[in-house]
Amino acid sequence: MKVKFLTLVGSIAVAFPAFAHEIARGPHGGRVADGGAYHVELVAKDSTVEVFLTGAGDKAVPATGFKGTAILVVNGKPQRIVLEASGDAKLTGKADVTLPAQPKGAIQLTAPDGKTASAKF
């Protein structure tokens, strides 16, 4: 009986680090999701969308040259928001409606090299 219990506990302990990589909040207060080679942080305030990218080692990725679209569901309807680089650090866009603090949807990105990535929220 003890062997089965220890085996179960050991299995859970080994699997736990796989879940530890999920990041609840990013450095800018937004939710973070995996988007291909990037971690994508989504911050929604009023009608503004800000997207921050991090790469390997959680280092910031310059947004220069990136293009994107946020497709967020607001009041049951999809809102398409064009995202453009704003300075080096983020992509931003404006919605026609006020956004909830934690909208559901997806961010579609095109990197400067033409590769695409998407993150679901």
Side by side, the strands of the sheet bearing 90-94 are 31-35, 38-45, 48-54, 90-94, 77-86, 67-74, 104-110, 116-120
What pLDDT, in 10s, does the model give residues 9-23? 344 444 444 444 455
pLDDT band for position 88 (cuts 50, 70, 90): confident
Please state which of the four CATH numbers 2.60.120, 3.40.50, 2.60.40, 3.40.630 is assigned to the domain occupying 24-120: 2.60.40
Q: How far apart are the first and last CA of the chain?
A: 42
Domain ranges for the chain, please list them: 24-120
- Give this prediction's pTM: 0.79
Q: What is the pLDDT, as a whole number, of residue 57?
A: 86
Residue 23 is predicted with a pLDDT of 53
* Cα angle for residues 97, 103, 108 (degrees, 5° grid): 95
Contact 35, 58 (CB under 8 A): no
The residue ranking higher by pLDDT, 4 or 51, is 51
Check pLDDT > 80 for residue 29: yes
Place of tokens 């949807």: 105
